[in-house]
């Protein structure tokens, strides 16, 4: 069972519905018993970084999630702000992140002709083409983005997918069982289905 963590942010139903479409059981939950029994965990996120961090802390679930993800090595996928929360901090706010990955979150620079937020479809590159999460993603893979801030990983964190919006940035990162994507796979049609199916069925 895939546990989609419910911490009072939006867009959970869209993630759940996409897993339904690809044929893998999932549940939206804040129940510690359900999370403890989960085979995989998804941490969605949208809106302001600080709000998301305050909400996840208010659930009291962080110790359980750390037990599952850091000690039991349960595969976890962070989506959008959920991916940003995996790092240490964000230029969007003052709250500390979860610190599970060695990365920070930075704001896109103000460049001529560059509209912020980055919103819409963008092609991605595959720096790790053999990773199970990007299996079957062709060279034409593209995903739907809505963000003003981007992932900036340290050398100890692999860039799984790359994109460009005025500057090159990490569209997806991975280290061991923990992965995060800046885009919205639940809004990315067939490419999103492929990625979520890969997460549900394979090693990550």
Q: Which residues are catalytic?
A: 80, 184, 186
Whether the Cβ atoms of residue 12 and residue 19 lie closer than 8 Å to each other: no
Secondary structure element (H or E) that encloses residue 134, with its range: none
Q: On the CB side of 57, how many CA atoms lie within 13 Å of its CA?
A: 11
Task: Give CA angle at 118 (135, 17), nearest 5°.
Answer: 50
Quote the strand ranges of the chain, DSSP E.
Answer: 2-5, 26-29, 40-43, 76-79, 89-90, 103-107, 118-123, 142-147, 149-153, 158-165, 167-175, 178-181
Measure Cα distances from 139 to 125, 182, 191 in Å. Answer: 7, 19, 11
Q: Which two structure tokens, joined as six digits, stand for 200? A: 């549900």
């Amino acid at each position: 069972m895939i546990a989609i963590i419910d911490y009072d942010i939006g867009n959970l139903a869209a993630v759940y519905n996409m897993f339904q479409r690809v044929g893998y059981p999932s549940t939206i939950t804040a129940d510690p018993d359900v999370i403890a029994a989960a085979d995989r965990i998804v941490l969605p996120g949208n809106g302001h970084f600080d709000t998301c961090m305050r909400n996840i802390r208010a659930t009291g679930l962080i110790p359980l999630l750390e037990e599952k993800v850091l000690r039991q090595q349960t595969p976890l996928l962070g989506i959008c702000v959920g991916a940003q929360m995996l790092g240490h901090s964000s230029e969007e706010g003052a709250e500390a992140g979860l610190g599970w990955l060695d990365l920070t979150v930075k704001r896109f620079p103000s460049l001529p002709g560059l509209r912020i937020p980055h919103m819409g479809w963008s092609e991605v590159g595959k720096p790790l083409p053999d990773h199970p999460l990007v299996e079957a993603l062709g060279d034409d893979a593209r995903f739907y983005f809505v963000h003003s801030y981007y992932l900036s990983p340290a050398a100890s964190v692999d860039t799984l997918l790359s994109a460009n919006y005025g500057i090159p940035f990490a569209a997806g990162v991975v280290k061991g069982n923990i992965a995060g994507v800046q885009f919205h796979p639940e809004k990315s049609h067939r490419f999103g289905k492929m990625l979520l199916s890969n997460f549900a069925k394979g090693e990550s």
